[in-house]
Structure 1
Amino acid sequence: MSSPATCREADDLLTQFVRDHRLPDEYRQLAAEYWLPLSNRLASMFDGHTLVVGINGAQGTGKSTMAAALAMFLGNLHDLKTVVISIDDLYLTRAERSEMARVLHPMFQTRGVPGTHDLRLAMALIRALKAAGSESDIAIPRFDKAVDDRRPEAAWHHHHGRVDIILFEGWCVGTTAEPATQLKQPINRLEADEDAQGIWRSHVNASLAGEYSQLNAMIDFLVLLQAPDFETVYAWRGLQEEKLRASMPDGTHLMDQSALTRFIQHYERLTRHNLATLPQMADVVFSLDKRHCIRRARYREGVS
């Protein structure tokens, strides 16, 4: 990145990226200061074998936009074939979650927490991407949140050719199980009222200790976008809903304040757990303030 031509290329890419994603102009500086150096570091780590990069961040931290910026830099400046996948596209189908709700606990009808993703599909997808060659055609699932169900395979995205870097983003990517003792007391009104016996949260935790730990083991490098606290995450999620409401005059499928509060409480336990545990586990931590500005970037000691 030292040559003027390359610097100009990066600047041109950022100008187009900000325009295409309708981002504030300040995002140019953030991406140039943090995402560009990270992309250079990831490129330097690539040794010919597919690199799996996990990106964790609570709701509203900007994971998807960050992943898109990294993919742009890696592809255009380093000629690395990069695929972005989101754990949000790997939920169990609505029918499968309905069966979980019937057999295990009604709260599993709500997507989001560990246990509601199709881990076999997720791990098979990552294996297929890592094994891809020049003639490969890999179908990448898509989930439609508007209808709360997986899209038909005809609507899935396809990646053709080899894969050098996989950017795998999601709010519970890299999340570990809690100690069993922490499950005894409910953490909010939702758990107290609807999971008084701890069945739901115990199954979520068992999922993390089982298949999710196998999924996490496939990650080579973990990035954390660290929110200041859970209260800020709650506020950010509320702002997302307000923006959706402003863009959809009829308000179809949007949540009122009561529904939003209940929805976010499904995520509270593990969001707080991630904030307490992942900073010590991640290879790089970007600490955000309440205005979404990065206060500090910290790379784990020994990370080249």
Structure 2
Amino acid sequence: MAVTLEADTKSTAYKSQLIAEFIAAQHERVSRSRGGRPLMVSMQGPQGAGKSTLAAALVDLLSTHFGLRTAVASLDDFYLTRAGLDALAEGSSTNAMLSGRGPPGTHDADLLASTLAEVSARSTSEPVTPLRLPIFDKSLFDGRGDRSTSVVTVDGPIDVFILEGWSMGFRAVSTADAQLRWSQGRVAHTHPFDSVRELNDNLSSFDARTREFFHCHVAIEPRSYEYVYRWRLQQEHHMKRLNGGKGMSDEAVREFVDRYMPSYEVFGGQEPTLPTLKLVYGEDREVEEVVRDDQPGEKA
């Protein structure tokens, strides 16, 4: 079913309509060979791009206009426990990028892979047991965070499962390519290449555990990754207006984004291997370009 597109390219409605039509088409494609199981969608976008807002809109739009029951999870909720993050930081003490959550290596790949396997095998028509998704509470331990004892429960069958995260769809690159991208990266080059190589190895392991589950991909790509600093700062200012001023200083936000920037510089902008919809954002988060590729590596 087609949806009449809004004219405002900055609006959540416009963006979610583009994505919903792509997902619905992919669901129709995959259901021909995989009827009775959910469509698995990965969704990538940088900090401050509005992934969570878009994902919430998609749940409603896919249900209302396409009759597709949809569940969304965030990669942020699959971080290692506090103990695991501390052990990683201690074991990688020379790698400043692994001093806290975020970069490749800081997620619990075992937990994510088992969750994806459970969702992927879930029936879309028969009674199912409740699906329990983890929660990572970023407010614990003075903002360092830890896995919560609470979970998000999804009852009943679902037709579409979306996993959104800042690095979803990123893939490891060859050592030669990593070295070239590192040498050209404004922030990546401030770290030793061995640290970047460690992230590349971590990403390779993570990708090997999770890639097989997804059927299609949605990417939100800024025209320049430098926009991420502004977007994340706007996000922090908005949060502080709502909570009475609690949050990071502007300098702390810049340092926070700096920890992610090497991954954008080294792993961002790769050609898709799954059917992909890419929305290219301008500095004000307006959609400047829509790129859809249904041809690469179909998965059934």
Q: Could you tell me the TM-score, scaled by structure 1's length?
A: 0.81
Looking at structure 1, the residues matched to 229 and 273 of structure 2 have their Cα atoms a distance apart, in angstroms, of: 23
Distance 1:28 1:138, change over 3 A: closer
Question: Quick one: which amino acid aligns to residue 28 of structure 1?
Answer: A
Q: Deviations over 1:174-221 (max 9, x none)?
A: 1011332334649456863xx44x443222110111232331232110
Segments of 5+ residues of structure 1 without an aligned counterpart are 15-23
Q: What residue ranges of structure 2 are gaps of 5+ in the alignment?
A: none
The answer to whether 1:27 aligns with 2:20 is no
Evaluate the alpha carbon distance shift between residue 129 and residue 280 of structure 1 in structure 2; reply closer, same or farther with a 3 A threshold.
closer
1:136-174 Cα shifts (integer Å, max 9, x gaps)? 111100111122333433x10111232321101111111
Residue deviations 1:17-75 (CA, integer Å, cap 9, x gap)? xxxxxxx994334444x234234323423412321111111112222222222222222
Distance verdict in 2 for CA 1:120–1:218, change over 3 Å: same
Residues 216, 274 of structure 2: 8 Å contact kept = no
**1:236 aligned residue:** 231
The alpha-carbon distance between structure 1 residues 111 and 141, as it changes in their structure 2 partners (threshold 3 A), is same
CA-to-aligned-CA distance 1:245-273 (integer Å, 9 cap, x gap): 2223242xx22233222221111122123
Matched, 1:104 2:92: yes
Could you tell me which residue of structure 2 aligns to residue 224 of structure 1?
219
- Alignment map for 1:120-199 (pairs within 5 Å): 120-133=110-123, 134-147=127-140, 148-153=144-149, 155-181=150-176, 182-183=178-179, 185=183, 187-188=185-186, 192=190, 195-196=191-192, 198-199=193-194
Match of 2:52, SS state, is helix
> How far apart in 2 are the matches of 1:25 and 1:302?
28
Identity of aligned residues (%): 23
1:271 and 2:264 correspond: yes
Question: 1-side partners of 2:134 and 2:250: how far apart?
Answer: 31
Q: Please say if residues 46 and 164 of structure 1, whose CA atoms lie closer than 8 Å, have aligned partners that are also in contact.
A: no
For the pair 1:113 / 2:103, whether they are aligned, the reply is yes
User: What's the TM-score once normalised by structure 2's chain length?
Assistant: 0.82
- Residue type matched to 1:38 in 2? F
Shift of 1:232: 0.8
Superposition map of 1:65-104 within 5 A: 65-104=53-92
Amino acid at match of 1:272: E
1:84 is paired with a residue whose SS is: strand
Alpha carbons of structure 1 residues 76 and 109: separation in structure 2 relative to 1, 3 Å: same
Counterpart-to-counterpart distance in 1, 2:163 and 2:199: 21
